[in-house]
Amino acid sequence: MSAEHGSLLAAVKGQPKQVWITAFAAVIAFMGIGLVDPILLSIADGLHATASQVTLLFSSYLGVQVLAMLITGAASARFGPKRTVLTGLVLIVAATALCAAAGSIGQLVALRAVWGLGNAFFIATALSVIVGAATGGQSGAILLYEAALGVGLAVGPLLGALLGSISWRGPFVGTAVLMAAALALCTIFLARDSHEKRAKIRLADPLRALRHKGLLRTSIGSALYTAAFFTVLAWTPFVLGWGAVAVGLIFCGWGLCVAVAGVVLAPKLAHRLGERHATALAVFGYAVVMVALVVPGKPVVVAAAIASGLVSGLLNTLFTGTAMSISDAPRPVASAGYNFCRWLGGAVAAALVGHVADWFGSPHAPFAVAAVLCLIAGGLLLVKERAADPRNVPEAAALVGEEF
């Protein structure tokens, strides 16, 4: 990742309209990850659910998204990126609107699964759309994508807090309205799918791409880190036990840290150390933050949770950049395989985090487990490659990726 292409200015300058529209839709899509964070306790009270049941809102969302990631590349190749993106957005709009009317935790968990299905079609395809259409090369495109992730993560908790202070159903209504606006914009402004013959992508291709040892290690490392990431996201509200507004403000600050670090700091670190070594250093830093979250005391938890956003911003950008450039697989295939592993880690963590606290008899135990996972992830990234760590997308991957 060069200094020129890694700068924020290079990433935003002269981008075509469809890149900005896709990035805007990505912001709203990523809002869905942190949207429920401030209202977890309100949902538990309103639907008479336990903490473990409520965290299923993350695991069902991510679990379905993980499985669907395996077919996003094939869907994009078969139907075209615009149709795939619009299908995802339609599913998200329908699911979020119905979430507002859910009458039980079971219904809400099921609707979050539909939401995750829509997100899978949108997220992986949006990345390939932005990378394929953006000026300034892959590095600038990834910065835009990760900036959208950071802004979405920052705005999601804030929106959830403001609307959730009225009712836990409010954030779902708000997201449905915003997502409908994104759907309308994408319908109007995204370029029509070309009728030219596209490279065929089989359903198993994302898993086949993981045969590349470098991509596999990167993807597993990302899965372990993402498990720690969602431990912070899903469990911190229960450790704090505070209201929607307080939790929303904390995670708004956390999300802003994600955005700033991902867009401003990550390119500089990658340029100085190389993407793979910078990623390893950052994931070891995340382990240190997880250890800080084990320390009793709510002020420490708040400070560490917000600080974790800085390291998360680094890792989100660095992991994505490494995964998209380390193998010769086409971009949509590498993205689908990588995202399959990445979000699988989050789904498993969200499902088990409450049980881990019960098994060890401590509300801080999940953070200790997360620290161990980050140490393992860092070790995987330090395994030496036979070939030099590449900085650019291999020519074959770039040529195929341009078709998307």
Q: Which residues of 244-273 are buried (b: 16+ CB within 10 A; e: fewer)?
A: beebbbbbbbbbbbbbbbbbbbbbebbbee
User: Does the pLDDT value for residue 398 go beyond 60?
Assistant: no
| Mean pLDDT (whole number) for 19-33 | 82
Q: Supply the pLDDT for residue 4.
A: 39
Instruction: Give the predicted TM-score (pTM) of the model.
Output: 0.79
Comparing 348 with 18, the larger pLDDT belongs to 348
Residue with tokens 């359903």: 203
Q: Supply the pLDDT for residue 375.
A: 97
302 lies in some domain: yes
User: Does the pLDDT value for residue 114 go beyond 80?
Assistant: yes
Q: Each residue of 359-384: pLDDT tens digit?
A: 999 999 999 999 999 999 999 998 87
Q: Supply the pLDDT for residue 397.
A: 38
322 lies in some domain: yes
Q: Supply the pLDDT for residue 198.
A: 57
Q: Each residue of 272-325: pLDDT tens digit?
A: 998 889 999 999 999 999 999 999 899 999 999 999 999 999 998 899 888 878
273 lies in some domain: yes
Percent of the chain with pLDDT over 90: 35
What are the angstrom distances between the C-alpha of 360 and each of 190, 210, 286, 401?
Answer: 50, 34, 22, 47
Q: Provide the pLDDT confidence category of residue 29 given band limits of 50, 70 and 90.
A: confident
The CATH number that applies at residue 246 is 1.20.1250.20
C-alpha angle 322/323/324, rounded to 5°? 95
1 lies in some domain: no
User: Does the pLDDT value for residue 396 go beyond 60?
Assistant: no
Q: Each residue of 129-151: pLDDT tens digit?
A: 776 666 666 667 777 777 787 78
| Mean pLDDT (whole number) for 320-337 | 78
Contact 325, 275 (CB under 8 A): yes
Identify the weakest region by mean pLDDT among 49-53, 76-80, 214-218.
Answer: 76-80
161 lies in some domain: yes
Comparing 33 with 299, the larger pLDDT belongs to 299
- Among positive and negative, which fits the CA dihedral 83, 89, 92, 96? negative
Q: Supply the pLDDT for residue 403.
A: 31
3 lies in some domain: no
Q: Provide the pLDDT confidence category of residue 402 given band limits of 50, 70 and 90.
A: very low
Structural domain span for residue 372: 8-401
Q: Provide the pLDDT confidence category of residue 356 given band limits of 50, 70 and 90.
A: very high
| Average pLDDT over the chain, rounded to an integer | 83
Contacts of residue 71, Cβ cutoff 8 Å, sequence gap at least 6: 203
124 lies in some domain: yes
16 lies in some domain: yes
Domains of the chain: total = 1
Q: Supply the pLDDT for residue 401.
A: 35
Q: Provide the pLDDT confidence category of residue 223 given band limits of 50, 70 and 90.
A: very high
Q: Each residue of 225-262: pLDDT tens digit?
A: 999 999 998 899 999 988 888 988 999 899 889 888 98
